[in-house]
Structure 1
Amino acid sequence: MAIIDAKISKPLDGGASFSLSNRLQRAMWNVVWLLLASWTPAPMHRWRRALLRLFGAKMGQRTDVRGSARVWFPPHLMMEERCILAEGVNCYNMAPITIRSGAIISQRAHLCAGGHDIDDPNFQLVAKPIVIERNCWVAAEAFIGPGVKMGEGAILGARGVTFKDLEPRMVYVGNPAVPKRARGGHDDLES
């Protein structure tokens, strides 16, 4: 998906950052999700997964996107096996967001794959992919910014905020998120 050059579209004057076809596709998606998915109970995950696939998302088996979650652009969502976007998650995927097997994105977390170049006089929109590796946990109301990669098994604690990559198997807390400790588990039992 191409982002329109801000020098041409003038977003500070109300111009669009995305093409008309992209905006129409997202409008249709929002209507479909509102009417056919947003009200559905948790056990209807297969139905919601089918709708996301229909609109271009790559969804593994046993994935669950709750009805109150919001996916901005389905073609930019890839979820592997056994992943969840819980209630109220905002998946603002202007760039691709990849969620690997076993990852949990908890209630009202925000995955934000775009922002603006604050040094550009035209406030150019910039989008960067987010990758959440296997068995990660993004806790309630946490925020992940553009271009972040969470290493395998990393945890971002409740209301934590990161704009930087997170190391594998580390627990991060705070705003900005800082490493608190290594994550325990079966791997530690052998040492």
Structure 2
Amino acid sequence: MAILDARKSKPLEGGASFSLSNRVSRALWQVSWAVLAAWTPPPLFAWRTALLRLFGADIAPSARVYGKTRIWYPPNLTMAENALLGPGVNCYNQARISIGAKAVVSQGAHLCAGTHDINDPDFQLIAKPITIGAGAWVAAEAFVGPGVSIGDGAVLGARGVAFRDIEPWAVYAGNPAKKLKDRPRF
């Protein structure tokens, strides 16, 4: 998925950041999710993951996504075994977002893989992948910014804001997130 050149597309003047085919694909996805999945009860995880796979996501059969989760572009989503996206998670995956085995992204968390070049007069969009390691926990209403890696077994506390990588098996909290302590390995 190629990002359009802001000098040509002029997003500050209402131009698009992505191709027409990408925008149509995302519109079809949003309508399909709203009609077929957003309203479904929590136990229908298999149905929702099947729908995500149909739209290009790489999701393990045991991964769980709640109906109230918002996923911007399924082909940029990878979820390993028993990974979880909780209710109200905003997965703004303009670049790849990978969620490791048994990782939990709790309710209301925001995973944002896109930003803009503030030094560019055309405000060029920049997309950077996010990786959430196996056994990690992104707690309620936390924010993970573009290009951030959350290490295996790491915790980003509730409403924490991560713009830098989080070490494996460590607990971080705050805005910006700071390391509080190590987490026992198990």
**Superposed counterparts of 1:15-94, under 5 Å:** 15-94=15-94
Instruction: Summarize deviations over 1:115-165 as a string: whole Å, max 9, x none.
Output: 000010000000000000100000000000000011110000000001100
Instruction: Summarize deviations over 1:22-59 as a string: whole Å, max 9, x none.
Output: 00000000000000000000000000000000000001
Q: Distance in 2 between matches of 1:64 and 1:40?
A: 13
Counterpart residue identity of residue 167, structure 2: E
Q: Distance in 2 between matches of 1:161 and 1:22?
A: 29
3-state SS in 2 of match to 1:22: helix
State yes or no: 1:140 paired with 2:144: no
Q: Distance in 1 between matches of 2:97 and 2:179?
A: 23
Tell me the CA shift for residue 62 of structure 1: 1.1
Counterpart residue identity of residue 148, structure 2: V
**Superposed counterparts of 1:147-186, under 5 Å:** 147-186=147-186
Counterpart residue identity of residue 108, structure 1: G
Tell me the CA shift for residue 185 of structure 1: 4.5
Counterpart residue identity of residue 39, structure 2: W
Counterpart residue identity of residue 159, structure 2: R
Tell me the CA shift for residue 61 of structure 1: 2.1
Counterpart for residue 189 of structure 1: none
Q: Which runs of 5+ in 1 are unaligned?
A: 187-191
> % of aligned pairs identical?
60
Q: Distance in 1 between matches of 2:143 and 2:9?
A: 29
TM-score (norm 2): 0.99
Counterpart for residue 96 of structure 2: 96
3-state SS in 2 of match to 1:27: helix
Q: Which runs of 5+ in 2 are unaligned?
A: none
Counterpart residue identity of residue 7, structure 2: K
Q: Distance in 2 between matches of 1:79 and 1:152?
A: 14
Counterpart for residue 119 of structure 2: 119
Would you identify which runs of 4 or more consecutive aligned residues in structure 1 move more than 3 Å? Answer: none
Counterpart for residue 4 of structure 1: 4
* Count of aligned pairs: 186
| Partners of 2:153 and 2:185 within 8 A in 1 | no
Counterpart residue identity of residue 126, structure 1: I
Instruction: Summarize deviations over 1:152-179 as a string: whole Å, max 9, x none.
Output: 1000000000110000000000000000
Counterpart for residue 108 of structure 1: 108
Q: Distance in 2 between matches of 1:61 and 1:30?
A: 22
Q: Distance in 2 between matches of 1:168 and 1:184?
A: 11
Q: Distance in 1 between matches of 2:104 and 2:151?
A: 14
Tell me the CA shift for residue 97 of structure 1: 0.3
Instruction: Summarize deviations over 1:47-78 as a string: whole Å, max 9, x none.
Output: 00000000000011211110000000000000
Q: What is the RMSD computed on CA atoms of the aligned residues?
A: 0.6
Tell me the CA shift for residue 90 of structure 1: 0.2
